[in-house]
Amino acid sequence: MQAIQRTWSNSKVRVNGKTRQMQWRDMFDIAVKWRRIADPDQPVLWLDQMPARSLSRGFNNHINLIRGQIINIRYLAYFDKILNFIKDRILVYHGAYNPRGLLEVRQALENVDKVEDLLPIMKVIRNNKILTPRNSMIIDQDVCSDGVYLCYLRVGNMLFSVETQTTEERTQQYQSEIESIYKDLTAKGKALMLSTELGDADAVCNLILSLVYYFCNLMPLSRGSSVVAYSVVMGALMASGKEVIGRIPKGKLVDFEAMTTHSPDSFSKTAKNWMNLKSLPLWYQSLPSVAETFQTTRTMIEVLNTDSTSHCPKKS
């Protein structure tokens, strides 16, 4: 986090002996490199940098919520939210393609309390996939990129899952959005350093969270997108003079919160309630540089495996 904070504050990176302006991927890549060191057995790859042959076919991230009799309790807190979203999208579908049967479907949905109850209604949607659309925030308000697919398949052996399809077109749409947000964030971040207005700090915070919102929906990494995203949030907020005091509520997940929220504004409001932001203490500026303190892979692995319980407050 401090490495991200220091790098973004300077807005410059050194690559292959040359210094250039920092881009959004450079900021995320700092967290990616630390994630690789934290668990070398699990490769963390940028999906758009995979071989062209693999990229042309697309890469799907697949998360099973229910598979047969097995329920993934990690995502249990989101079942009701996802179910309600599916019900809303079914109404949109029937409103467009089956307006005469809309009233009947609406009445049937009132009796849906669990995923299994959707079976008779979902039969009319051939591929049993419901897309969560993501509207552009900056580039074009009318542009709508693919979000995630909420899949409900296999009547005999039920499979209820969340899937992202990382195609070249979808990746380009999201990266264009992220690049625009990052450009705005960099400009407002520099202005914040010369300002004491609370509104400026709040605008920077919203842009940081919006950046992460689209990153989570893109899911550009083979694994670890959530922890990388939240590390970037904390590091970028530190660069803007804020620190995260609060904790993520039990049962909540950063990536799923972004994927099941309809807009970056809604995601920002929720995340800020969790984080309980405070101004950085003055002594923070005297902390040594991460790069100077942990110069070797060994020291990086050691600090990642340090028990920090005694240094963390018991209550957020």
The strand pairing partners of 163, in sequence order, are 62, 149
Buried b / exposed e over 60-70, threshold 16 CB at 10 Å, is ebebbbbeeee
pLDDT of 235 over the 80 cut: yes
Helix (H) or strand (E) holding 224: none
Residue 298 to residue 291: CA distance in whole angstroms: 13
The strand pairing partners of 131, in sequence order, are 149
Give the pLDDT score at 142: 45
Instruction: Give backbone dihedrals phi and psi of 305, rounded to 5 degrees, phi first.
Output: -105, 15
Write out pLDDT tens, residues 141-199. Answer: 444 455 565 655 555 567 787 877 777 788 888 899 999 999 999 888 877 766 666 56
Continuous H helices in the chain: 2-10, 24-38, 52-57, 79-97, 102-109, 119-122, 168-193, 198-218, 225-239, 254-259, 264-275, 290-293, 297-304
Give the pLDDT score at 9: 59
| Nearest CA-CA partner of 60 in 129, 154, 172, 148 | 148
313 token code pair = 């407050």
pLDDT of 130 over the 70 cut: no
Q: Give SS3 for 14.
A: strand
The strand pairing partners of 71, in sequence order, are 66
Domains in the chain (CATH in brackets) are 2-50+169-305 (1.10.3290.20), 59-166 (no CATH)
238 token code pair = 């530190």
Give the pLDDT score at 141: 46
Q: What is the band of 240 on the pLDDT scale with cuts at 50, 70, 90? A: confident
Q: What is the band of 213 on the pLDDT scale with cuts at 50, 70, 90? A: very high
| Ordered DSSP codes for 149-183 | EEEEE-SSS-EEEEEEEE-HHHHHHHHHHHHHHHH
The strand pairing partners of 149, in sequence order, are 131, 163
DSSP 13: E
Higher-scoring residue by pLDDT: 98, 123? 98
Give the pLDDT score at 47: 85
Give the pLDDT score at 32: 92
**Is residue 245 within 8 Å of 238, Cβ to Cβ?**
no
Give the pLDDT score at 316: 44
* Average pLDDT value for the chain: 79
Give the pLDDT score at 140: 47
Residue 140 to residue 310: CA distance in whole angstroms: 48
Mean pLDDT over residues 239-262, rounded?
88
**How many other CB atoms are found less than 10 A from the CB of residue 25?**
15
- Residue 315 corresponds to which amino acid? K
| Nearest CA-CA partner of 134 in 181, 98, 102, 96 | 181
139 token code pair = 């580039």
Give the pLDDT score at 13: 65
Give the distance, in angstroms, between the CA of residue 194 and the centroid of all CA atoms in the same chain: 30
Give the pLDDT score at 144: 46
